[in-house]
Amino acid sequence: MTGPGGCDWDRLREAAREAMTRAYAPYSGYPVGAAALVDDGRTVTGCNVENASYGLGLCAECGLVSQLLNTGGGRLTHFTCVDGRGELLVPCGRCRQLLYEFGGPGLLLQTPAGVLPLAEMLPQAFGPEHLTT
Ligand code: THU
């Protein structure tokens, strides 16, 4: 069913849950799955991938943006993220910045406080536009 922002959020969250089942999180015991819609209708997903060298762990959003580029690029329009129980999770600060690069301020995020644009989750963001002279 279509919800806020013209998105079937239940379906997108299901894709995030499925990705979460493939997470590699033996150190934190905290699997994460992320899913997003692309402006051409594709769905891209990612899961977190940890490492014995703890600081090298990759968030689920890293895998998601990698899949975005590796399957044709485009812009992210809708995003959701879940924990190991399948409950909504808000992306960490670093991942908000990752998402900003490929979705910009208008990217819609499903959060416990409702569907919000990334502009509200990462106010006054630094982005590619600041590097143009
Ligand atoms: N994690 C993500 O994958 N995405 C986030 O936005 C928050 C945190 C992962 C990183 C680590 O593998 C685990 O959750 C616990 O912090």
pLDDT at 5 over 90: no
Question: Which pLDDT score, from 0 to 100, does residue 92 have?
Answer: 98
Q: Is 126 in the pocket of ligand 1 (CB under 6 A)?
A: no
Beta bridge partners of 109: 79, 116
For residues 43 and 124, what is the distance between their CA atoms, to the nearest angstrom?
A: 28
Beta bridge partners of 58: 49
Backbone CA torsion sign across 76, 77, 83, 86: negative
Beta bridge partners of 35: 45, 80
Calculate how far, in angstroms, residue 35's C-alpha sits from the geometric centre of ligand 1: 14
- pTM, to two decimals: 0.96
Question: Which pLDDT score, from 0 to 100, does residue 111 have?
Answer: 97
pLDDT at 133 over 80: no
Q: Could you read off the pLDDT of 82-99 as tens digits, one per residue?
A: 999 999 999 999 999 999
- Number of the ligand 1 atom closest to the C-alpha atom of 32: 3
